[in-house]
Chains A and B, each alone.
Chain A
Amino acid sequence: MTELDESPLAGRWRNADDDAVAPAIRTAELRRIGERLDLGMVGVDGFDWGWAPVEQVFAGGPASSVAVGVTASFEVGDRRARVHGNIKLGVMVLAAFVQLPGPEQRIFTRDFLFGDQS
């Protein structure tokens, strides 16, 4: 079986909604360094989630050879996020299960990011 083609996921991504509110994600980036693939994120409020290793790259189906999704977990101070990113029609849909400090502070965000060529 051939390696998954990761090219649809690679590079920098920017939120298409300039009015998105925290804890939405403003920019994301996938970078490969050797064997490791990392996901980095910055929130619309400037909060830097830093880089987290991609746990798994997903194909669009059991027989597909094209990568369309990644999962990763972030923990920065007392904030945590479980992230599912998937490509749909060239758009990165970034879903984040965010746990903020304090009771009942579990928020799900879903942002649409386009490839940032700048």
Chain B
Amino acid sequence: MHRSGFFLTILLATVLLVACTAGGQTLSSLPSPTSLPPTPQSIRLRDGLGTEIELSGAAQRIVSLAPSNTEILFALGAGNQLVGRDSFSDYPSEALQIQDVGGGFGNLDVETIIALQPDLILASPLTAAEQVQGLRDLGLTVFVLPNPLQFDDLYTNLMTVASLTGRIQEAETLIVQLKQRVQSVDEKLSGIARRPLVFYEIDGTDPNAPWTAGPNTFIDMLITRAGGLNFGHDLQGDWVQVSLEEILRRDPELILLGDAIWGGVTVEAVMARPGWGELSAVKNQRVYPFDNNIVSRPGPRLVDGLEALAKLFHPDRFQ
């Protein structure tokens, strides 16, 4: 009995320890809804997976499963209708006060989501369809906001979220502002003589074969709209790994470090990489860190991204 008894005791002790120290939410510790004027009619919309979603009124207890959705909600003034958000939602800073529901490693904390008693879960294609189905099987309402391909799709998404949250007016105002800003950029860039070749680095862990964005990605679209030429525009795939030799051969005019936000990738470090010293962009000191979030999250900050890119590519047009 010694050996098995010993094992059992260890097992029991550890489990009890874990059970007692496990923090965790109770229903009462989670935020309760603030009151808002009720909207009379029901809302019916088709989501990105083709499912028809019906809400009896504007959603008041929303869980966002994508940082882009969180940004959209706050941009529409619906921040206080948010009761839960995924781990990566970090903008605006108020989002950090909202209850975290997991999402790293693809694993959501379903229990916390349920305990929040949401009336709407706003997901994106980042969430696996199986997980969406799983949440729906538990009786929750999940709306998957599709990824926009162009700015117009972004505006449609804003209106969709606005309908779901009763913020139509705020959305209309926001869209007008965004359109104006985009148009302004287009106008400032009209008649540009040439498009600088831009290398946008997504991952430079291996400096001899860094990753960049291929065609049909946001980044490619934004770079093009901002008057540049994406290095990866003629390559295959969404994420592409290119050799340093190819970069040397094509010799881009600018290098943008999208991986600067992960830390450890500074302009000095990149310029000091062996072989990189030969690049014109390094010699001319046209290597810049770039906030990847404003060109990869499909929210209103894409316009921020557009403006930032355009200013980098054609500073003369933006005095």
A-B complex is real: no
Q: Chain A residues in contact with chain B, CB under 8 A?
A: none
Q: Chain B residues in contact with chain A, CB under 8 A?
A: none
